[in-house]
Chains A and B, each alone.
Chain A
Amino acid sequence: MIRVENLVKTYGPVHALDGLSLNVEPGAVYGFLGPNGAGKTTSMRILSGLARPDSGRAWILDKEIGTSGQDVRSLIGVLPEEPSFYGWMTPREYLRDFVAPLFGIHGQVANKRTDELLEVVGLKDDANRRLGGFSRGMRQRMGIAQALVHKPPVLLLDEPVSALDPAGRKEVLDLIETLRGQTTILLSTHILADVERVCDVIGIIAKGRLIVQARRDELLASYVTPLFEIESDNGFGHWLEWVEKQAFVTKVTVSNHTARVLVKDVHEAQNPLLESLARAALQVRRFEMIHPSLEDVFLRLTEKEV
């Protein structure tokens, strides 16, 4: 659906993109993650036709971007990082009289679509207010509405929830959820919790290159820490001596009532550990396999690059 091959873009001495390649499958919600200056916005600008790469190619729905006669803009809805509007227009005028006709939508169809979108993004009561007086959060909602006017098969969302309050964030993420499967979404953000919540596939970019691309669950599983934490009310006694001798155990540390057991393979170690704890008659309060958060994975990967 979205395919990028070896994109290179330099601004003077700065390599904004250094051979970026990625592939977004149809219907996926693709989380595009990276530290500041990694090249996320540059990639978005190239995909939306606002900038040209120095080299490399990109396609949306098999149409190559930047090739004459291959205008991809009717296939995409774009939300820039800081959406801007004509301050003298109202949301209704902007959607119905400006954006919709540019996509060939006129009359009653444009009117109906405008009403639907204003309802969806929670701006129905402000439909006839001047956009010039809107807060950043309201502009962000309006930005989402204008990107959806023509029901595009591909959505490029640059930091779609960064300016919203918690309630607004939830509404927008719920909206993205409703589009899952029908629309392919490339979503750049630095809010990892949101990526974890809505994205099926995650691509992490650093220094203009994609350093990893995987399904969310696979990515988290591949970076799982082989560590168990065990909390016991009556200490660990002889069980500690037993566990330290096991071949599958790498290291054991104890502090207060908690033992941390680092193992070679979590699946191999899980059952023997549970059985041994039962045999030792310990009063186990907690037995937990430590899962990494996306933040741990992100920091581990990007720090390695930087």
Chain B
Amino acid sequence: MFRTLLTKEFREWWRTWKIIVFMAVFLITGIVSPVLAKYTPQLLKSIPNLPVGLADFIPAPTVADSVAQYIKNTEQFGVLLVILLTMGVMAQEKERGTAAMLLTKPVSRSAVILAKWLTGMTIVLVGLLVDGLACFAYTVVLFEPLPLGAFWTLNLLLLVYMGVYLTVALLASTLARSQGIAAAVAFGGLIVLIILGSIPYVSDYMPGQLVAWGSSLVLKGDKVAWPALGVSAVIIAAALTIACLRFEREEI
């Protein structure tokens, strides 16, 4: 039963072009990040009539710039895309009536939620692999080889970071009866996490620290954020549990 639900979810992502959009954005991010890091200083220097001496202040690009660009772009586009593509998955089924058709069959409601979550997480994982491989290859060509273990640990931390937003968006979609309300609740969750992430002391425990930790690993810094990893795991587990419990009790 779970396999049937999972197959349906993957096919839906594929047949509705969502997976293509997702992979294309991640591939472009992976390619563009090191390229921008490498050539932005050169582009700036080539601007005509640049004040005398300013070009000397533009630093030469390094592998750190490539990693910083990669993290910034992946974080921004990734989170936005994850929310946009996940916020409708349950609300749409309820709004269109396909949930009612499905739930008259012998399926577990929690299995429906878990199939959607697992599909989303797998697609984010593959997206990060595509993104990371592209970035790794271009960084090697344009700069120097990245520390392999640290770079993939960074991507693993990005997966957990995006998993938080994916699970919160899935919860929003389960709580809402329409896609509009689901979007409002999902972006509300994003804003709350951003605000909490900007409060001193509290921010140490927020998922945003995972990105800083990953960056530090690649660039040989000393930042460690185990509490943020713990809190992120708790947010994912709690959001998933609430979504399952809520859907189990919901009247369709």
Which of the residues B4, B100, B106, B252 comes within 8 Å of A73, measured between beta carbons?
B106
Q: Report A-chain residues with C-beta under 8 Å of the C-beta of B104.
A: 48-50, 73, 76, 78, 80
Q: Is B46 an interface residue (CB 8 A)?
A: no
Q: Report B-chain residues with C-beta under 8 Å of the C-beta of A89.
A: 11, 15
Q: What is the 8 Å Cβ interface bit string for chain A, positions 88-123, against chain B (1 contact, 0 not)?
A: 110000000111011100000000000000000000
Asked whether, in the complex, the Cβ of A51 is within 8 Å of the Cβ of B101, the reply is no
Q: Report A-chain residues with C-beta under 8 Å of the C-beta of B4.
A: 97-98, 101-102
Interface of chain A residues 151 through 175 with chain B (CB within 8 A): none
Tell me if B's interface is mostly helix, strand, loop or mixed. helix
Asked whether, in the complex, the Cβ of B251 is within 8 Å of the Cβ of A84, the reply is no
- Please judge, given known A-B contacts A52-B251, A73-B106, A103-B105, whether A88 and B100 are in contact too, CB under 8 Å: no
Q: Shortest CB–CB separation between residue B6 and chain A, in angstroms?
A: 11
Which of the residues B3, B7, B15, B101 comes within 8 Å of A85, measured between beta carbons?
B101
Asked whether, in the complex, the Cβ of B1 is within 8 Å of the Cβ of A84, the reply is no
A82 to B98, CA, bound (A): 10
Q: What is the 8 Å Cβ interface bit string for chain A, positions 10-26, against chain B (1 contact, 0 not)?
A: 00000000000000000
Asked whether, in the complex, the Cβ of A85 is within 8 Å of the Cβ of B103, the reply is no
Asked whether, in the complex, the Cβ of B103 is within 8 Å of the Cβ of A50, the reply is yes
Asked whether, in the complex, the Cβ of A83 is within 8 Å of the Cβ of B107, the reply is no
Q: Is B8 an interface residue (CB 8 A)?
A: yes
A89 to B101, CA, bound (A): 14
Q: Is B96 an interface residue (CB 8 A)?
A: yes
A82 to B16, CA, bound (A): 23
Q: Is A189 an interface residue (CB 8 A)?
A: no
Q: Is A86 an interface residue (CB 8 A)?
A: yes
Which of the residues A74, A78, A84, A103 comes within 8 Å of B98, measured between beta carbons?
A84
Interface size on A, residues (CB 8 A): 27
Q: Is B97 an interface residue (CB 8 A)?
A: yes
Asked whether, in the complex, the Cβ of B15 is within 8 Å of the Cβ of A88, the reply is yes
Q: Is B12 an interface residue (CB 8 A)?
A: yes
Q: Report B-chain residues with C-beta under 8 Å of the C-beta of A84.
A: 96-98, 100-101
Asked whether, in the complex, the Cβ of A82 is within 8 Å of the Cβ of B101, the reply is no
Q: Report B-chain residues with C-beta under 8 Å of the C-beta of A82.
A: 97
Asked whether, in the complex, the Cβ of A99 is within 8 Å of the Cβ of B105, the reply is yes
A80 to B11, CA, bound (A): 25
A78 to B107, CA, bound (A): 14
Asked whether, in the complex, the Cβ of B98 is within 8 Å of the Cβ of A85, the reply is yes
Asked whether, in the complex, the Cβ of A80 is within 8 Å of the Cβ of B101, the reply is yes
Q: Report B-chain residues with C-beta under 8 Å of the C-beta of A78.
A: 104
Q: Report A-chain residues with C-beta under 8 Å of the C-beta of B100.
A: 50, 80, 84
Q: Which residue of B lies closest to A98 (CB)?
A: B8
Q: Which residue of A lies closest to B4 (CB)?
A: A101
Q: Which residue of B lies closest to A97 (CB)?
A: B7
Q: Report B-chain residues with C-beta under 8 Å of the C-beta of A146.
A: 101
Q: Is A71 an interface residue (CB 8 A)?
A: yes
- Please judge, given known A-B contacts A85-B101, A86-B98, whether A50 and B107 are in contact too, CB under 8 Å: no
Q: Report B-chain residues with C-beta under 8 Å of the C-beta of A143.
A: 101
A29 to B252, CA, bound (A): 26
Q: Which residue of B lies closest to A149 (CB)?
A: B105
Q: What is the 8 Å Cβ interface bit string for chain B, positions 119-146, against chain A (1 contact, 0 not)?
A: 0000000000000000000000000000
A85 to B251, CA, bound (A): 19
- Please judge, given known A-B contacts A102-B1, A103-B106, whether A50 and B252 are in contact too, CB under 8 Å: yes
Which of the residues A76, A86, A88, A102 comes within 8 Å of B107, measured between beta carbons?
A102
Shortest 5 CB-CB contacts between residues of A and residues of B: A84-B97, A78-B104, A101-B4, A88-B15, A73-B106
Partner-A contacts on B (CB < 8 A): 1, 3-4, 7-8, 11-12, 15-16, 96-98, 100-101, 103-107, 251-252
Q: A88-B12, A102-B4 are in contact. List 19 more A-B contacts (CB 8 A).
A: A50-B100, A50-B252, A51-B252, A52-B251, A73-B105, A74-B106, A80-B100, A80-B101, A80-B104, A86-B8, A86-B98, A89-B15, A97-B7, A97-B8, A102-B1, A102-B106, A102-B107, A143-B101, A146-B101
